[in-house]
Chain A
Amino acid sequence: MKKSILVVDDFASIRDFVCETLQRKGYETFGAANGNEAFKLLTEKSDSVNLVLTDYNMPDCTGFELLKKIKESPSVSKVPVIFLTTESNPDKMRSAKEAGLAAWIKKPYRSETFFAQIENAISNG
C-alpha cells in the first residue's frame, strides 16, 4: 500500500515542492499550512497518515506545538513526526527529541538523507 505523508509548511512553494518530491518517490501526500490545520487533518485521517513532515517555524501553531499535540493525543500519538527546517539549534532539537520527535532534517537537505530518514521513521516509528 502507498505510504502517506502529511506535509506541513506555511510557505506554499516549499510545501508543494516537498509534496511533489515525495510523490515522485511513490508516497501519497497531504498538505497543511500550519500546525492547527495539520492536527485537524491528522485526527480526521488518523488511520491513513504514516508520517508527519513539518516545518519548525510557522505562524499560529509551530512545529513544536504540533508535535506536542500529536504526542499527547492517544489516537495519533504513534504517527512519527519529522521536522524539516532551517532551524538548527541543539537545545530545540533536544527538547523536540524528548517530546517524541523521530528525526530532524535540516534544510537544505540532500535527497538521500531525506528519504533515508523518512523511510527509517516510517518503518521504525
Chain B
Amino acid sequence: MDSNQKRFVEDALDLLNELDEGLLQLEANPHASAPLEQVFRTMHTIKGGANMFGFEKIGELAHQLETLYDLVRQGKMQVSDGLISITLHAFDKVRDLFKEKDAAKINNAEALSDHLKSAIEFLKAAESEMVSTGKTSSAASAVNKDELATFFIRVSPTISLTVDGNHPLVFIVLDLEALGTARTFCYKNEKGDVAHWDIFLSTTTSQAEIESYFLFVENECQVNYTKLFACDLFGSDEFKEYLDQFNAVPVDVKALSAFVETLSAKCKETHGSEAEDEVITSSRKKAHHDTYIKVSKRKIDDLLNWISELIILQAQLTNATSGLNSPAINEVTEQLELITNRLRDTSLEIGLVPIETLVTKFKRLVRDLSKTLNKKVNFLSEGAETEMDKDVIELMADPMIHIIRNAIDHGIETPAERKAAGKSEHGTVKLKAFNTSSYVNIIISDDGKGIHQERVLQKAIEKGLVAADASLTEEEVLNLIFHPGLSTASQLSDVSGRGVGMDVVKQKINDLRGHVSIKSTSDKGTSISIKLPLSRSIIEGLLVRVEDTRYVVPLNVIDRIDRIPYTLLNRENQVNKTVVVNEETLSVFSLRQKFHNEAIVPKTADIISVTVHGIRKGIAVDRIEGKMQTVMKPLGEAYHQQDFIAGSTILGDGSLALVLDPSRLFQLSDN
C-alpha cells in the first residue's frame, strides 16, 4: 500500500463509522431525510475514494448500495430492516478488508462478492416489487442501467487541433472509448489537424450522459449522435468486419443505417433506456464547528514527554529561587508555572478523542444483539462528545461491550415478561458519559429486572467465597459480581459466555487506574458506573514515605487509612502481618520490612487499606505526605523485572518517587 492509500484507508475507516451512525439513525427514523442524505453522501465519498485509490471492488459495492439508497431518496423504495442489514454487513466486511496491510488483499475480488450479490439481488427484488406495485415507469430507467446500446458518434472539432495535442477534446474521446467496447476512426484534413472522429461505441451509458461529456467543449466541436441499435453490435462478427472498411473510406451514415437494419434480425429487441430522472438534493451533514487534523500518536507522546520534563524543571526552578527573595525572579517563576500548567492541560487534551466511536459500536451491538435474542431494546447515549485518551478508549471497548451484553442478555426481559411486569415492551440501555475534574465517568444502565441479590449471595456461599452466616451489605453483595470465583459461569449463554467475566472487566478498569461500582434495584434495573482517569500518564495518588524513599499509591484503590503503633506490626520479623483495623482483620504488607528494615523504627505506621481483585489488604508505610497529581514516567529497562513498580514520578524538589502497582505488589507478597 502506498502512503496515499494508507491515508485514504484511515479516513475511510472514520467514514465507515459515520456511515454506521447514519444507518442506525435511518433505521430508527426511516422517513427522516437528514440521515438518508448523510448515508448517501458518505457512501458516495467512499465510492469515489475507493475508485480513485485503486480499490475498485469496494467502489463497485458502494456503487450498488448507493443505487439502492438513491431509490429510497427518490421515494421509490422504503427503508427496511433488510436494506439496513445488508448495508451494515457489507460495510463491516469493507472495514475488515481495510484492516489488511496489503492493497491486493483489500481489493480481493472474492471477499466482497457475496455482499455484492446480495445487494444486486436486493435491487432485483425491489425492482420486481416496484413493477407489481406500478411504480415501475420511472424507476425502470434508473434501475435498468445494464442495458446495452450501440452508438455512432461523430465528433467534428471547430478549432484546429492535432491528435497528439493537449486539447481536452482529445482526452474526452479517449474517455468515451473507455465507456464500453469502442472502435474509433480519426480522419485528418490537409493540414494534419483532426477533421473528425468517428466513434462506434457499445455501452450501458445513456445518450444524455454521453452528451454530457462534451458539455464543456461545446464551442470547440460539433457532435452528432446516432443510436444504431439497442444492443451490443460488437457481439456480431459481421459488424466488426463491416467496420474494417472505414480504415480506408469515411463512414457513410446512410449506408451504415442500412447495414444495421439488416443486422437487426439477429439482435434481440430490448427497450432502450432514456435519461434518468433526477431528484435534486442538497446534502447536509451535521455541522462541523471545528476543523481537525490527523497527527501521529508518536508526536503527541513526544510532546507530552517533553512537557513533563518541563514541569519538573519548572518545579525545580521554583524551589531553587524561593530562597532568593527577588520579586523580579518570583514574578517570572510564577508566570512560568502558570503557563507550564496551561501547556500541560492543553497538551493532555490533544491526545483525547470523543467516545463517539465507541457509542456507534455499541449501537450496533445493541441492535444486533436484541435481534438475536428477540428482545426490544432502545439504546440511548448521552455525552458522546466526552473526550478520553485514545488508548483508554481502545482498552475500554471490550469491557464495556461485555457490560452492555450482560445488560441485554440478563438485564432486559423479553417483551412478554416486560408487558406482564407493567413495563413498556422496549427495554432501554443507556450510556452516559461526563467529565469530573480529571476523570471521565461512564454510566451504563438498563431498566431490566436487576440483579437477583439473594441468588448472588447463595452462589457465593456455595462456592465458599463468603461464610454462610456472614451478613453483607447490599453493596458488598453486588460487588461479589466482580469476584473471579463467581463470574458469569452459571449463566453461560451464547451471548454472554464469551470468556470475559465481570472480574476481567473490573481488572481492566483497575489496570487503567479506574474505578467501577454497581447499583441494582430488583425489577428496576442495574447501573454500572465506571470512573477513569483522563489520561494514562497522569496519576492521582497518595505520596507516602518509608525511610527516605517515597512511593506513590494510586488513589483509586484506596479505601481508608489508619495509623497504628508500629509495634503492632513488628512481631516475629514477618513480612506479612495481620492487624485489626476498624474492627476487621487485615492482612498487611509492610514496605519497610520488605525493602528497608532499618534498625531504627518509627513509633507509628500508617496502614493504607486497598481493595484489589475484590480482596482488601493493607500496605504499611511510615508516613503519609499528601495527595498529589503527577505525570507518570516509565522506569528504564533495568527495572522491568520489578513489575510491582508501575513507574516513577519526579517530585518538585527533583527527587524520585516510585509509583506502586498494588495488585502486583500483593502477588509478590503471596509468593
Chain A CB within 8 A of B172 CB: yes
- Interface stretch of the complex, out of A43-51, A70-78, A86-94: A86-94
* Cβ contacts A17-45/B at 8 Å (1 or 0 each): 10010000000000001000100000000
* Cβ contacts A74-109/B at 8 Å (1 or 0 each): 000000000001111111111001000111101110
In contact, A57 and B41 (Cβ under 8 angstroms):
yes
Beyond A13-B10, A60-B287, A108-B52, whether A97 also contacts B280 by CB under 8 A is no
**CB of B296, distance to nearest CB on chain A (Å):** 15
Beyond A17-B4, A107-B48, whether A119 also contacts B216 by CB under 8 A is no
**What number of A-B contacts does a CB cutoff of 8 Å give?**
110
* Cβ contacts B1-31/A at 8 Å (1 or 0 each): 0001001101110010000000000000000
- Chain B's closest residue to A86 (CB) is B48
For the complex, would chain B's binding face be called helix, strand, loop or mixed by DSSP majority? helix
- Chain B's closest residue to A107 (CB) is B48
Chain A CB within 8 A of B368 CB: no
In contact, B216 and A101 (Cβ under 8 angstroms):
yes
**CB of A27, distance to nearest CB on chain B (Å):** 15
Count residues on chain A whose CB falls below 8 Å from chain B CBs. Answer: 39
Beyond A16-B4, A20-B4, whether A116 also contacts B166 by CB under 8 A is yes
**CB of B277, distance to nearest CB on chain A (Å):** 9
**CB of B121, distance to nearest CB on chain A (Å):** 24
Per the 8 Å Cβ criterion, residues 21-55 of B in contact with A are 41, 44-45, 47-49, 51-53
In contact, A90 and B208 (Cβ under 8 angstroms):
yes
In contact, A104 and B215 (Cβ under 8 angstroms):
yes
Count residues on chain B whose CB falls below 8 Å from chain A CBs. Answer: 44
Chain A CB within 8 A of B285 CB: yes
In contact, A16 and B7 (Cβ under 8 angstroms):
yes
Alpha-carbon distance between A120 and B660 when the two chains are bound, in angstroms: 69
In contact, B8 and A89 (Cβ under 8 angstroms):
no
Alpha-carbon distance between A71 and B416 when the two chains are bound, in angstroms: 63
Beyond A92-B278, A93-B212, A104-B215, whether A11 also contacts B49 by CB under 8 A is yes
Alpha-carbon distance between A117 and B4 when the two chains are bound, in angstroms: 23
Beyond A13-B4, A57-B41, whether A93 also contacts B215 by CB under 8 A is yes
Specify which chain B residues have a CB less than 8 angstroms from the CB of A94 in the assembled complex.
212, 215
- Chain A's closest residue to B291 (CB) is A33
**CB of A51, distance to nearest CB on chain B (Å):** 14
Specify which chain B residues have a CB less than 8 angstroms from the CB of A106 in the assembled complex.
175
Specify which chain B residues have a CB less than 8 angstroms from the CB of A107 in the assembled complex.
48, 51-52
In contact, A92 and B216 (Cβ under 8 angstroms):
no
| Chain B interface (Cβ < 8 Å from any Cβ of A) | 4, 7-8, 10-12, 15, 41, 44-45, 47-49, 51-53, 166-168, 170-172, 174-175, 178, 208-209, 211-212, 215-216, 275-276, 278, 280, 282-288, 291, 294
The 6 closest A-B pairs by CB, nearest first: A59-B285, A113-B171, A86-B48, A13-B8, A90-B212, A13-B7
| Chain A interface (Cβ < 8 Å from any Cβ of B) | 10-14, 16-17, 20, 33, 37, 57, 59-60, 62, 85-94, 97, 101-104, 106-108, 110, 112-113, 116-117, 119-120
Known: A91-B280, A92-B280, A102-B216. 11 other contacts (CB 8 A): A10-B45, A11-B45, A11-B49, A14-B8, A16-B7, A17-B7, A86-B47, A89-B276, A103-B168, A106-B175, A119-B166
